[in-house]
Chains A and B, each alone.
Chain A
């Protein structure tokens, strides 16, 4: 079973700054997805297939990585970007999520 470890647990930044979120997988060779979740809402798909933006996602969001190390980058934070972010992989016929990174306003 794949284990996904996200870091940091909490990231404190200001609007306009660049955010870099990390997700490390216990096994390689799988694509990665990223989700954003705001309080009281369901997760929303941001990135699929490691680097593809989902429909309607602004281009300030980008995904990269390969093997076991993946990154979600938000180039210039907007006030609405402060939320919790989860990574997710599919492998061995099951889906696995990371524990989440909370992006908070500094």
Chain B
């Protein structure tokens, strides 16, 4: 059974940086696209970024492009999210999730999620 465990959430000040990690187990991590998704205090879900199994292709939502960087270490079965220039509106629970779908189609979803890690950006 796939298991994802996030870590690294914290209380930080606006403008600061934070690095989140997600440890994966129970499945061949190197075979899957992986994503970061956040949930705001108002409970809205927002997909942030995903990364190709080999780390060669990365996609971002406009709201974080240029500030956040997704990466992975397949040798350690770990996904990361480097978050720079944090803003108050980045306050959320951050989840890592496993992408599943059919290549070159719109049939993509998330079939495994971690428990989330809380990031609070406040002065």
Give A residues with C-beta under 8 Å from B: 29-31, 33, 35, 41-45, 48-49, 54-55, 84, 86, 88-91, 93-97, 99-100
Q: Flag if A44 contacts B113 (CB, 8 Å).
A: yes
User: Which A-chain residue is minimally distant from B109 (CB atoms)?
Assistant: A33
Instruction: Tell me if B44 counts as interface (CB < 8 A to partner A).
Output: yes
Which one of A88, A94, A95, A99 has the highest number of Cβ atoms from chain B below 10 Å of its Cβ?
A95
Interface of A is mostly: strand
Partner of A91, one of B35, B106, B110, B111: B106
Q: Flag if A94 contacts B106 (CB, 8 Å).
A: no
Known interface pairs A48-B100, A100-B44; 18 further A-B residue pairs with C-beta atoms within 8 A, sorted by A's residue number: A29-B106, A31-B105, A31-B106, A31-B107, A35-B110, A41-B115, A43-B45, A43-B95, A45-B110, A45-B111, A48-B111, A55-B111, A90-B106, A91-B106, A93-B59, A94-B47, A97-B45, A97-B47
Residues on B with C-beta less than 8 A from A88 are 45, 109-110
Which one of B35, B106, B111 has the highest number of Cβ atoms from chain A below 10 Å of its Cβ?
B106
The CA-CA distance from A22 to B113 in the complex, in Å, is 24
User: Which B-chain residue is minimally distant from A30 (CB atoms)?
Assistant: B106
B37-75 CB mask vs A (1 if < 8 Å, else 0) is 100000111110010000000010100000000000000
